[in-house]
Amino acid sequence: MTTLHDLSAHHLSESFRRRTVSPVEVTLAVIAHIERWEPRLCALWGFEPEAALAMARAAEARWQRGEPLSALDGVPVTIKDNIATQGQAMPLGTAASELVPAAADAPPAARLREAGCVILGKTTMPDYGMLSSGLSSFHHLARNPWDLSKNPGGSSAGAGAAAGAGYGPLHLGTDIGGSIRLPAGWCGVFGLKPSNGRVPIGTPYIGRVAGPITRHVTDAAMMMAVLSRPDWRDATSLPPADIDWLSLDIELDRELRGLRLGLQLDAGWGLPVDPEVRATVEAAARRFEAAGAIVEPLAPFLTAEMAEGIDRFWRVRSWMDISALPAERRSRVLPFIRDWVAPGAQVDAAALFRGFSQIAALRDAAVTATQRFDFVLSPVSPVPPFPAEWAMPSNDAARAMHHIGFTLPFNMSEQPSASVSAGHTATGLPIGLQITGRRHDDLGVLRLSRAWERLRAPLRPWPQPPA
């Protein structure tokens, strides 16, 4: 029997409408479930059960009056540390931060609060969001619910872990090089990196987006219906679009027939693809092909010059931020991050410009390479989850970005891209399938991801809290 904390947002919304279950009952169940998991999982920071229950009571009263704020009114949600929520500090995962309460909600948090979501708390992340890991100098070490000895990935580490563990149905993350898709893939859940500008974010940066992490594609679509509403604070946001976010289910036999899918199994740079990951993605492609899609190989387009140039630019940017801190605060930054940014001090202006120019080069290469396809299938990560204590799959600051060869290009190209669970390794660790669409076709990515949910073999049962 499905317990309350496992119910989807779509199911909860219908249950609230029919008054068969209440937001308070659900929130109490989720809180109890979190309390069983959290001492070992460490996915949350700023967990506020009493504040969440107050929100749940208010939502319950609105449903009883027949005046819900939205379909998500009363549905539990978590929000990543680096998305401002009014009255709470934003440590950015690092002990170097000064804990100053935020004056206002950032746009994505504001949309969720306006929709009546029950905000359970903030989720953990690594220092400055610059690791694909749950390792942080500020937060406790976040772990993977499928195997507590393994990493959940990052930088939306706590969000991915919370979704996999069943901390309610909705989780909000951010992604600049894979930070939604990587933890979603390694934690066996769904994560959408929307088109750049689709979700107003408040502090825009090249490649940076906010998006949903959920167990079900439909729940992510419900979040997008809320998150994509306009906010003047993001000058890079797309114009409001009339998108029917819940028009997800397609006629598999008819609508997949003739769909052109690129299959990318070599990123062109970085870590080699693990055999189990490769086999799982190939099997997914064959299922789409059996349903009538046309699957063709996509040759690598990411070069070492592109990847290493962007890495160089990011190191300089982060070195400038960290070097500007007072010495005592600077010493609190995670040593791996300090080692990663250190070469940035030696980069001259010409090398910095060449690195920055690789963003445009990669954007053009990605759009050009993928344009002939309706969608692209690939691994999310070349490797399965890695040890919890490691900062990266390589655990080497010199090769810090070598696992993002499949995800990074689509941040730079601004294309919507999702991670959806495709299976497990022989030892039970999740493997993510990346589905990428053309620029601005967010709904298309959600629809194909939903189709994959219907095509794939049954997945393993969700992990349970340790005894």
Q: Which residue numbers are catalytic?
A: 80, 155, 179
Which three-class secondary structure state does DSSP give residue 309? helix
Query: In Å, what is the CA distance from 312 to each residue of 6, 304, 317, 348, 401?
Result: 42, 12, 9, 11, 11
Say if residue 155 is preceded by a cis peptide, omega within 30 of 0.
yes
- Rounded Cα distance between 276 and 431, Å, is 9
Where would I find the H helices in 232-348?
252-255, 275-290, 304-323, 327-330, 335-341
- Rounded Cα distance between 337 and 318, Å, is 9
- Rounded Cα distance between 167 and 163, Å, is 6
* Closest of 376, 225, 415 to residue 294, by C-alpha: 376
Q: Cβ-count burial of 463 within 10 angstroms (0-12 exposed, 13-18 middle, 19+ buried)?
A: buried
User: Are 389 and 141 in contact, with CB atoms under 8 Å apart?
Assistant: yes
User: Are 83 and 111 in contact, with CB atoms under 8 Å apart?
Assistant: no
> How is 252-267 classified by DSSP, letter by letter?
HHHHSTT-EEEE----
- Rounded Cα distance between 408 and 72, Å, is 31
> How is 430-450 classified by DSSP, letter by letter?
EEEEEEEESTT-HHHHHHHHH
Q: Which residues contact 358 (CB under 8 A, 6 or more apart)?
A: 305, 306, 307, 309, 310, 313
